[in-house]
Amino acid sequence: MAKPPRSVVILGGGTAGWMTASLLHRRWSAFGCEVSLIESSEIGIVGVGEGSTPQLKAFFDDIGVSETEWMPRCNATYKAGIEFAGWSDRPGHEHYFHPFPTEVDGFTQPRFFYATRARRTGRDVTAHPDAYFVPTRIARGGLAPVAPPNFPFLVSYGYHFDAQLIGSFLKELGVGRGIRHIEARIASVELDKKGDVAALLAEDGRRFEADLFVDASGFRAAIIEGALNEPHRPFGANLFNDRAVVTRTPLPKKGAKACTRSTAASAGWIWSIPLTNRIGNGYVYSSRYIDADAAAAELRAHLGLGEDAELRELTMKCGRIERSWVRNCLAVGLAQGFLEPLEATALHVVMATVNAFLDAWAKDDREAFNAAIARRYEGIRDYIVAHYRTALRRDTDYWRDATGMDSLSDSLKSVITAWFTGADVEQEVLRQDIQGYYSPVSWHCMLAGYGNFPDQALLKPPGPDIAPIDMAEIERFVAGCAMNFPTHAEALERLKEAA
């Protein structure tokens, strides 16, 4: 087992930098490792990224912080999944919900898989995902995915939160626990004779040495790309979006639903993320198909805003660096890579990277670590690409090109082929061992949610060879389970009271 380093310097105080600092400090401080974080308030943080996957809960559990401590401070809400709207023009498929996995869905999931296969092979059975899953009912019913203590099944959920506030929260927590916080603007990186990073040099002349450096400097990737010249692999061939325009709107009177909403637009999609005090909105689009003014106008029209609405433009560098751990530097967050935020996976990847890195450090197994992180990016990328390739909308050049693109990985081709040839998609996902990135449920929900089935006119009634699918029983089950959950407003109120 390799010993922890004596000192770590993290460049960057965005969410990625502070999450990494917390995790490294928790694991290594007992061995005398000093963790420092350098940031420049002049440069600031990207300030977006307000939705998570369920792994954020694992992060807070890992660093010993309860929901009552962090959620009210970050205006956070619960997230049971993502509502996709307008990605398909198939009647009945204008919306679908991508639920986070819960144990309780283990009862209906096999029937859903069976139904999608029957429908794919020409039988007229109900195969829309929305009928089958409890988180869908929870989010749409204004409930929170927080199971009461006596509910005997695990229910996973993610969060929405204010990106600035979560940064400040983690900073206060980290500094209180002994992470050294340094305000400095780094001007250059000093390498030693071997090519390792020796020190970071600040504009004011200070010099920061460490055994290990973490590049969390955002899209600048100041160490990993800037000094170590690690190549960046762009994802532009099959992920077209490279810009975002963002704005905030007031929360409607009925309050926040426990889900993100992703609405397809003329050259991309628009997110809506409800916090306790506002909604965060953003149009993620491709500058090849729409210019900034037209994208801003489309976002304003979508939200019913006037010309005077305050909007912020962002440029996104989509892709990943070849290796995340190079010499004595680990890259995390936007410095490491970025996949457009359709599935809100960035912070999840930060956690997965740091946890895998800690194990790899102990085993001194850099190659396996770098290969695993690269596979993770490719795995998530494929699922996001599939959103576009299998969407059923062809009304603009953007959608015609996105749904017709042929630059697909072999892995993705095999999953899509399994779907369209009536094969077992679950087995295909397991065979490829890609279920750790997106589960068979996620693949089924997306492909069925868009309505990727033979035309209704071609479907035959299910014959005796098809086991009956009792939709009334499924409805009773889903509704019965959902009845146990509090309203979202009640759950958030309880957190505030307990804080």
User: Is residue 158 within the footprint of ligand FAD (CB under 6 A)?
Assistant: no
Using rule CB under 6 A, residue 244 touches ligand FAD: yes
d(CA 326, CA 370): 9
Annotate 161-221 with DSSP letters as a single string. --HHHHHHHHHHHHHHHT-EEEE--EEEEEE-TTS-EEEEEETTS-EEE-SEEEE--GGG-
Closest CA to 444 of 119, 88, 85, 55: 119
CA distance 280 to 458: 42
Q: Does 274 bind ligand FAD (CB under 6 A)?
A: no
Rounded-to-integer distance, Cα 156 and Cα 80, Å:
8
Which of 3, 32, 44, 431 forms a contact with ligand FAD (CB under 6 A)?
44
Q: Which of 186, 441, 469, 482 binds ligand FAD (CB under 6 A)?
A: 186
Between CA 29 and CA 336 the distance in angstroms is 24
Q: Please identify, among the stretches 94-102, 318-326, 338-346, 454-462, the one whose residues bind ligand FAD according to the rule CB under 6 A.
A: 338-346
Question: Contact with ligand FAD (CB under 6 A): which of 341, 379, 440, 449?
Answer: 341
- 74 vs 115, beta carbon nearer ligand FAD: 74
Smallest separation, CB 1 to ligand FAD (Å): 29
* Those residues with Cβ within 8 angstroms of residue 248's Cβ, 6 or more apart along the chain or in another chain: 278, 279, 280, 281, 310
Does residue 217 belong to the site contacting ligand FAD (CB under 6 A)?
A: yes
Q: Is 182 in the site for ligand FAD (CB under 6 A)?
A: no
347 touches ligand FAD (CB under 6 A) = yes
Judged by CB, which is closer to ligand FAD: 125, or 350?
350
2 near 363, Cβ under 8 Å? yes
Q: Mention every residue, 6+ apart, whose C-beta is less than 8 A from residue 360.
A: 325, 366, 368, 369
> Pick from 8, 9, 23, 45: which binds ligand FAD (CB under 6 A)?
45
Residues 6 or more apart in contact with residue 111 via CB below 8 angstroms: 132, 469, 474
Q: Which is nearer to ligand FAD, 115 or 335 (CB)?
A: 335
Cα 289 to chain centroid, rounded: 25
Rule CB under 6 A: say whether 37 interacts with ligand FAD: no
Which member of 224, 331, 346, 416 binds ligand FAD (CB under 6 A)? 346
Q: Give the SS3 label for residue 18.
A: helix
Q: What are phi and psi of 208, to 5 degrees?
A: -120, 115
How remote is the C-alpha of 195 from its chain's centroid? 34
314 binds ligand FAD (CB under 6 A): yes
The yes or no reply on residue 14 touching ligand FAD (CB under 6 A) is yes
Minimum gap (Å) between residue 337 Cβ and ligand FAD: 10
Q: Of the ranges 14-22, 60-68, 106-114, 458-466, which one interacts with ligand FAD (CB under 6 A)?
A: 14-22
Q: Which is the catalytic residue, given 3, 57, 79, 363?
A: 79
Q: Is 46 one of the binding residues for ligand FAD (CB under 6 A)?
A: yes
Q: Does 156 bind ligand FAD (CB under 6 A)?
A: no
79 tagged catalytic = yes
Q: Annotate 406-464 with three-state secondary structure.
A: CCCCHHHHHHHHHHHCCCCHHHHHHHHCCCCCCCHHHHHHHHHHCCCCCCHHHCECCCC
174 or 440: CB nearest ligand FAD:
174
Of the candidates 390, 388, 414, 415, which has an alpha carbon nearest to the alpha carbon of residue 402? 388
| Contact range with ligand FAD by CB under 6 A, out of 212-220, 304-312, 412-420, 445-453 | 212-220
Nearer Cβ to ligand FAD, position 225 or 378?
Answer: 225
Q: Which is nearer to ligand FAD, 303 or 392 (CB)?
A: 303
Asked if 353 touches ligand FAD (CB under 6 A), the answer is: no
Other Cβ atoms less than 10 A from the Cβ of 5: the count is 18
Q: Using the minimum distance from each CB to ligand FAD, give the nearer residue, 163 or 256.
A: 163
Site of interaction with ligand FAD (CB under 6 A): 11-17, 38-40, 43-46, 48-52, 163, 185-186, 216-218, 220, 222, 244, 282, 314, 316, 333-335, 341, 344, 346-347
Task: Give the residue numbers annotated as catalytic, written as ranges.
Answer: 79
